[in-house]
Amino acid sequence: MNEILIIARKELLSVVRERRVLFTTLVLPIFVMPLLMFGPILLFGNVAQKTQESVQRVGVVGVPVEVLEALKRAKVEPVPVANPQEAVQNREVQAALIYENGRYTLYGRLSGGATQSALVVEKVQGALRAYKDQVVAERLRARGIGTELLEPFRLEIEDASREQERAAGLFAFLIPYFLVLFIQTGGMPVAVDATAGEKEKGTLEALLAAPVPLMQILLGKGLAVFVMSLLSTLAAMTGLLLGGGMLRSAFSAQLQALQREENAPQLGGALALDPLGYLSILVTAVLFALLVIALMISLGLYARSYKEAQSYMSPLMLVMLVPILFLQFSDFLKLQDWFFVLPFVNVVLAIDSIVKGMVTVPQLGITWASTLVFAGLALYLAYHSFRREDVVFRN
């Protein structure tokens, strides 16, 4: 056991001397994570609010005077144009409206995600809907019919989500993503330096010649990678929880205004779990870290050089991010217990279910057992690589 701690200390000291690695691994996530989570939302919300409050140019062709007045009331400046579609494409106007044969056609730049043109199109649509309701109401009154005919019943929508899911909001999706991301990125510098890096420096031969069993050498290196992976993950989670809380307090009015909008996402960032829930996340993350660490050490041992080892880590990251894409559509699938046997997928599903308060004991047990088995197989692969001279000494 003492030899394992000595080897782990040696690997950690080599990383501590690299101040840039420590900064990017432990310090930077604390400040970057809140910005990644709330920054785009706040920025887009501010842009959308300014778009609603300011006046934009909209091209018009054949639009009646009454509609022009409705557009002006909606803070839109109607501008006559010869070719509406071309005017929008050339950004002479943010949108364009044509009226022909009782039909309105609205042009806008709607491709490429959220654009100012799309926001202006929504503003014009709102003005047209208000004008249409006004015309319908006037025609009904002219025939002696009340406007209540248009609304025979009322519909109220209530959120039936669990308390944990409502509290987490967007955070429920981000936790599995950042756990997967930072467990690898935090431990990768140590894993690569402790394997392929030692090959390049020529120190691996001296370490293998020492009177220490191979398994203890492997466990010592794995312990060092494990420590850095967990520290990096804790730094990221700290940034999300504490930094996110500070941002929510500082911009509470803006966030509340965004959430009052129709179809707005839940911009949560808090966990409403009992101690058993936090413990379940911790155990799941630790088992997943063991699997990832064993895979990284195996890849690092197989690589001839430091750069080659880094090139192997990128595909590993892509493989681990695939379950995140699966998670986006998990609500459309009926989750089966065998899903929690699939490597990487099981961890992502389990953490998401824990955060939302939906996990069952069998699902959690299957996830832990299968991940432990996969981690054991990956550890054996790393140990087998250590024993092969054609792998350890090739360069």
Average pLDDT over residues 277-302: 89
* 94 and 203 inside one domain: no
Average pLDDT over residues 190-199: 86
Q: How confident is the model at residue 61 (pLDDT cuts 50, 70, 90)?
A: very high
pLDDT higher at 98 or 119: 98
Going by C-alpha positions, the residue among 175, 376, 171, 169 that lies closest to residue 280 is 175
Answer yes or no: is 46 within a domain.
no
Answer yes or no: is 195 within a domain.
yes
Which residues make Cβ contacts (< 8 Å) with residue 220, sequence separation at least 6?
A: 3, 4, 5, 6, 7, 8, 10, 11
Domain that holds residue 26: 2-39+162-392
- Of 92, 120, 150, the residue at which a domain comes to its end is 150
Answer yes or no: is 323 within a domain.
yes
* 192 and 83 inside one domain: no
Q: What does pTM read for this prediction?
A: 0.71
pLDDT tens figures, 300-311: 888 888 888 888
* 226 and 108 inside one domain: no
* 265 and 331 inside one domain: yes
Answer yes or no: is 145 within a domain.
yes
* 205 and 263 inside one domain: yes
* 25 and 97 inside one domain: no
Q: How confident is the model at residue 78 (pLDDT cuts 50, 70, 90)?
A: very high
pLDDT higher at 112 or 200: 200
pLDDT tens figures, 335-394: 788 889 999 888 988 888 888 888 888 999 999 999 999 999 988 888 888 777 766 666
In whole numbers, what is the pLDDT of the chain averaged over residues? Answer: 80
* 295 and 367 inside one domain: yes
- Of 81, 116, 150, the residue at which a domain comes to its end is 150
- Structurally, how many domains does the chain consist of? 2
* 203 and 305 inside one domain: yes
Of 248-252, 332-336, 352-356, the one with minimum mean pLDDT is: 248-252
* 86 and 177 inside one domain: no
Which residues make Cβ contacts (< 8 Å) with residue 248, sequence separation at least 6?
A: 38, 255, 269
- Of 90, 123, 150, the residue at which a domain comes to its end is 150
Q: How confident is the model at residue 265 (pLDDT cuts 50, 70, 90)?
A: very low
Domain of residue 134, CATH code: 3.40.190.10
364 vs 53: CA distance, rounded Å: 50
Answer yes or no: is 30 within a domain.
yes
Answer yes or no: is 142 within a domain.
yes
